[in-house]
Structure 1
């Protein structure tokens, strides 16, 4: 009898491999300035642009799932995400180091990067809508763009709803080449606002884009509109509560 607790195929364990890769790249960027520079040079570069990716090959190739036999589109995803991580603002790596220290001081239970970074994300009441997707699926770019909108008001830097919607829609319309070309600007915008990006989820989506771009685009858009709508409902409920409290405190006429 087959043990149902074992993964049925290689894809079932791939998210864990992605998480390990992301942690490795983040550690390199935090502890090795030379490695960070080498990875950042690969931003918007092709795999065969050896003049700018020579250092990347040394750092990334050992982590490719099938080594040199890994298909080119998958290799490109690993390179792009590594370059995006390296191109983050410098303080991002200081924050990651603080989170690592907190994890080690705790009970040893791992905390997803996006959840650990985003400490102010709104948590809608259960009755406001459907439950969030299981954390094991990660947070899509749709969640990141929605976070940029709902967490921005009152900040010095912010992203308007129309800007987020426009950028996200642009990404969903891209071919694989177009997606790799447009991601640096959009992801850089998010990280400059200190909006967390689930790198492992993005890596998985980039790998799957050639065959599942429609499904991934749908998830990004639905996640974006779902989170924005949930926040609208939270705000409306808060307004209703405040009005009810004000009416209760007003003296009778």
Structure 2
């Protein structure tokens, strides 16, 4: 799905400008927020505060700090889709069940635990060269605490719909390996 101009987040565009200008000092300052409560790394304020609403909004402010620190960890351009899509791509390249366990942990986590779970997810994506759609992530995190959990449900749909072809292929290979020798030849000829 192509991103429209309305989907672009001005704050994320600001982060992308820092990356594109190769402002290593800014990205280093933003990375100092990793593993800390959002907003507690004073070095980040210079780059984040100008983008916050005048009236404090705790969750929105926390999302700004969280996305800034995670972006600085893995600023690779070119991401598309939700975090569920990104982690499905990681799982497809590794085949590791641990990716799915971490993803389920992310879906189930409370907002207070989100920084830790997202840092793990972004680190996995970085390790496997899977870019993140930072505009989408920013928008999704703004809705993380919605009572309907629509963000978590969409991420789950994205993750398991992308991993389904891999699971089906593995299932077919497993079924074929268990079939008697003659049945394997017939099965291949019938395809």
From the superposition, tell whether residues 187 and 83 of structure 1 become closer, same or farther in structure 2 (CA, over 3 Å): same
The residue that corresponds to 1:181 in the other structure is: 116
- Of the candidates 207, 211, 223, which is equivalent to residue 146 of structure 2? 211
Q: Is structure 2 residue 45 aligned with structure 1 residue 15? A: no
Q: Is structure 2 residue 54 aligned with structure 1 residue 68? A: yes
Q: Is structure 2 residue 79 aligned with structure 1 residue 114? A: yes
Q: Deviations over 1:108-146 (max 9, x none)?
A: xxxxx325xxxxxxxxxxxxxxxxxxxxxxx11111111
From the superposition, tell whether residues 70 and 213 of structure 1 become closer, same or farther in structure 2 (CA, over 3 Å): farther
Give me the TM-score of the superposition, normalised by structure 2.
0.77
Contact 2:11–2:51 (8 Å) recurs in 1: yes
- Of the candidates 146, 150, 159, which is equivalent to residue 88 of structure 2? 146
- Of the candidates 31, 37, 52, which is equivalent to residue 46 of structure 1? 37
From the superposition, tell whether residues 22 and 196 of structure 1 become closer, same or farther in structure 2 (CA, over 3 Å): same
Q: Is structure 2 residue 17 aligned with structure 1 residue 27? A: yes
Contact 2:86–2:131 (8 Å) recurs in 1: yes
From the superposition, tell whether residues 159 and 38 of structure 1 become closer, same or farther in structure 2 (CA, over 3 Å): farther
Contact 2:33–2:39 (8 Å) recurs in 1: no
Whole-Å separation in 1 of the counterparts to 2:139 and 2:59: 12
Q: Is structure 2 residue 47 aligned with structure 1 residue 59? A: yes
Runs of 4+ in 1 over 3 A off after TM superposition: 230-236
The residue that corresponds to 2:180 in the other structure is: none
Contact 2:144–2:152 (8 Å) recurs in 1: no
Whole-Å separation in 1 of the counterparts to 2:60 and 2:6: 12
Gaps of 5+ in 2: 173-184
Contact 2:30–2:69 (8 Å) recurs in 1: yes
RMSD: 2.9
Give me the TM-score of the superposition, normalised by structure 1.
0.60
Gaps of 5+ in 1: 1-12, 97-112, 116-138, 153-157, 237-242, 249-253
